[in-house]
Amino acid sequence: MKFFIDTADIREIEDLMTTGLVDGVTTNPTLIAKSGRRFLEVIADICRIVPGPVSAEVTATDYQTMIREGQKLASIAGNVIVKVPLTVDGLKACRTFSGMGIGVNVTLCFSAAQALLAAKSGATYVSPFVGRLDDQGYDGMALIEEIVNVYQNYTQLTTQILVASVRNPKHVVEAALLGADVGTLPPTVLKQMYHHPLTDKGLQAFLTDWSKTGQSIL
């Protein structure tokens, strides 16, 4: 399973890239706004740091403007993935970008029917939002299972399932068990995945026993 980091914080990205665990980055207008910087500059900086896919979202809602914005974003760097909403115009734009050889992330997916439309439109990634579904009393992981099952029925579909709105490590593990291709994680969730109380307890016991030997490896 690939891990994308869901942030526009350059320092956070630089730090997490040193772990070797980050395969890409996803951004959205909300994350860019939090950065307080100019949109295109932030995307360019992220692309210089991250060799993998970097999702940059259009802000237009009509097809023609989406195309212009998407081409502008794609011109920033070769690893930019243009993110479009799962609307009629977004899917039309997805088809056009796909024909141009531009990668597309179709976002705000909340049903398997929508995911099927995204795949048929040539999406590189589809982003179902599990946490937001959970918030509304639905089972976000049930949606991931449905999409995985649908896609597996048709080998000609190459769209990757990018699990979004991930809230905790359990979401990540459940998505991996279901066979999702990518999880896009807030930095806090990736950091939570390191920790387990028994790991901390075991390490402390090892260190205590080692100190009793009076030895040093160096």
104 is a domain residue: yes
> At 74, phi and psi to the nearest 5?
-65, -25
Query: Given this model, what pLDDT does residue 35 score?
Result: 87
- Per-residue confidence (pLDDT) for residue 125, from 0 to 100: 98
145-171 pLDDT per residue, tens: 999 999 999 999 999 999 999 999 999
127 found inside a domain: yes
- Residue 24 has what pLDDT? 98
pTM of the model: 0.94
Residue 83 annotated among the catalytic residues of the structure: yes
List the catalytic residue out of 83, 92, 191, 212.
83
Question: Side-chain half-sphere of 66: how many Cα atoms within 13 Å?
Answer: 22
Residue 37 lies in a domain: yes
Q: How many domains does the chain have?
A: 1
Domain that holds residue 151: 2-213
Residues of the chain with pLDDT under 50: none
Residue 102: CA count within 13 A, CB half-sphere: 27
What CA–CA distance (Å, rounded) separates 112 from 151? 10
Quick: pLDDT tens for 63-94: 999 999 999 999 999 999 999 999 999 999 99
Residue 50 sits in a domain whose CATH number is 3.20.20.70
Q: For position 181, what pLDDT does the model report?
A: 98
Spell out a b/e string for 112-139, using b for 16 or more CB atoms within 10 Å of the CB, else e: bebbbbbbebbbbbbbbbbeebeeeeee
Per-residue pLDDT at 113: 98
Would residue 218 count as lying in a domain? no
Q: What is the torsion angle, in degrees rounded to the nearest 10, for the CA atoms of residue 94, residue 86, residue 144 and residue 162? A: 50
